[in-house]
Structure 1
Amino acid sequence: MQQSVFESVRYSAACQGCGAEAEWQGVQALVGDSLRWDVGSTCSACGFAVAVCGRDLPDELRGRLLSEHRPAALQVPLPVQKTKVMRVLRAELSIGLADVKVVLERVLAGAYAGTLPEIERLARRLRAAGVDAMAVRPACV
C-alpha cells in the first residue's frame, strides 16, 4: 500500500453565512491513486459551517497551496527512455503529441512543477511504467 501524500493550508476569508472573517482549512491529498481536495470552515461569529470536496482542484486552492508550500518538481534522471515518459505524460495529462514534447523538455530540465500530490501522482505513474522518477521540492533560491 502506498503512503498518502498531502498538503494543507489555513487562511482567512469571509463567512458565507454572515460575512465575518472566518478561518478556512484546505487540503489536497493523493490517497492511493486518486487526487482529492477539500475545504472547510466553521464561523466563530455565527456558527455557519461549510465543507466542500472534489477531485479537480480549484485554481484558488491550488494557488494557495503553491504559495504556502512552493511547487514540487518532477525529477527524472538522465538518460531516460523518452518514449516511455511521453506515453505516461500523454495519458496522464490528456495532451497531444505536440504538447507532450514541450512538457517532456520541461520534465527533463527539472522545470515541470505543481503541488506535491500532483507531482507525486505523476512520479508514481512513471515508476509503474519503468521510469525512475521522483517528486522533489527544489531548494529556495
Structure 2
Amino acid sequence: MEQDIFESVRYSAMCQDCGDELECCGVQALQDSRLRWDVESTCSACGFTVAMHGRDLPSERREQILTEHGPATLRVLSPTARSAVIMRVLRAELGTDLVNAKSVLRRVLSGDFSGTLPEMELLARKLRASGIPALSTRP
C-alpha cells in the first residue's frame, strides 16, 4: 500500500459568528487514490470551530500551497512509454478533451508539467497502474 501524501497551509478568514479573525489550517491530501481538501478553523475570540472535509481545493489555496511548498513535477521514466496510454490516464484524471490532453502529454514528456505534490503523485500512481513508469518529484 502506498503512503498518503499531505501538504498543508495556514491562513486567516473572518469568523462567521463574531467577525473576528478565524485561524484556518487547510490540508490537501492524497489518500486511497483520491485527492481531498480538508480545513479546520478556530476563532480565538469567540471559540467558534468548524471542520470541512472532502471539498475541492480552492484556487487561492492551491496557489498558496504551490508558493509555500513549491511545485512538484510529473515525470515519465521510460522514453518508449506509450503516448496513447498516458493520454488516456490524463484525460480520465484531468477531465480534459483530446486536444488539451495532447498538450499536457507534451508537457509531461518534456518534464514541464507541474502542480501540488498530491496532484502529481496521484497522476504518477495512475500511470504506474497502467504500466507506465512515472513519479512525482520536486526540483
CA distance in 1, matches of 2:70, 2:19: 30
Please state how far the C-alpha of 1:78 moved relative to its aligned partner.
Answer: 4.3
Q: Match for 2:33: what amino acid?
A: D
Tell me what 1:84 maps to: 85
Cα deviation per residue 1:62-98 (whole Å; 9 max; x = unaligned)?
1221111111110113412212111111111121211
CA RMSD between the two structures: 1.4
Please, which runs of 5 or more residues in structure 2 have no aligned partner?
Answer: none
Contact between 1:126 and 1:133, CA under 8 Å: does it hold in 2?
yes
Identity among equivalent pairs (%):
60
> Is 1:54 the counterpart of 2:54 in the alignment?
yes
Return the alpha-carbon distance in structure 2 between the equivalents of residues 12 and 92 of structure 1.
Answer: 31
Contact 1:35 1:55 in 2 (8 A): no
> Matches of 1:62 and 1:16 in 2, distance apart?
23
Asked whether 1:22 is paired with 2:29, we answer no
What is the distance in 1 between the residues matched to 2:20 and 2:128? Answer: 47
- Paired residues in the alignment total 138
TM-score by length of 2: 0.91
- Amino acid aligned to 1:38: D
Counterpart-to-counterpart distance in 1, 2:5 and 2:24: 20
Cα deviation, residue 60, structure 1 = 2.3
Deviations 1:108-136 (A, max 9, x none): 11111111111100000000111110011
SS in 2 for 1:134: strand
Greater mean alpha carbon deviation, residues 53-62 or residues 127-136:
53-62
TM-score (norm 1): 0.90
Look up the SS of the partner of 1:51 in the other structure. strand
Q: Which amino acid aligns with 2:21?
A: E
C-alpha separation in 2, matches of 1:101 and 1:58 = 26
Structure 1 gaps, min length 5: none
